[in-house]
Amino acid sequence: MDKLVDYMNIVIKYVLVILMAILVVAVFMQVIFRFVIEQPLAWTEELARYCLIWITFLGAAFAMATNSHIGVEFFVKLLTVPIRRIVYLLAVAASLAFFLLLVLEGYELAAGAMSQESPVLRIPMGIIYSVIPLSGCILIINLASRLPKDFKSGGTG
């Protein structure tokens, strides 16, 4: 199971790299066309916006895999390990509730927006919004895969 989760996160990392490259190229083209050629491209701004949305949500899911989210460990490390585990389980329960909300409400949003097209690129907005439930699922998978090893230390390592 861990190898499958690791493979999923490697794929996500490469998707993030590709999206960031597309974002950089789109913004660079927008600057060149707007300020040098003085003929701005309408589609580059929209493409950059949608890439940034996907990078944000997928990046949050990838950060869960690498334990890169910020946390206040100062107070947690003052607690004994059994109390740390309780606090950790409460944090996991709250996170899981939020991730489930992302999946359920994100699915509703994406499904409801499939008939609406983006103004310039003419992409169904449901495809853009589909990253919300997708990232929610990935966050749940990564949280579940980290749970056993993080529970031993009380979530501090």
- For residue 73, the model assigns a pLDDT of 77
CB atoms within 10 A of CB 33: 14
What is the distance between the alpha carbons of residues 127 and 109, in angstroms, rounded to a whole number?
A: 10
CB atoms within 10 A of CB 104: 12
pLDDT in tens, 125-151: 999 999 999 999 999 999 999 888 888
Domain boundary assignment for the chain? 2-153
Is-contact 82 153, C-beta < 8 A? Answer: no
- Is residue 157 very low, low, confident or very high in pLDDT (cuts 50, 70, 90)? low
pLDDT in tens, 6-57: 999 999 999 999 999 999 999 999 999 999 998 999 899 999 999 999 999 9
pTM of the complete model beyond 0.85: yes
pLDDT(154) > 90 = no
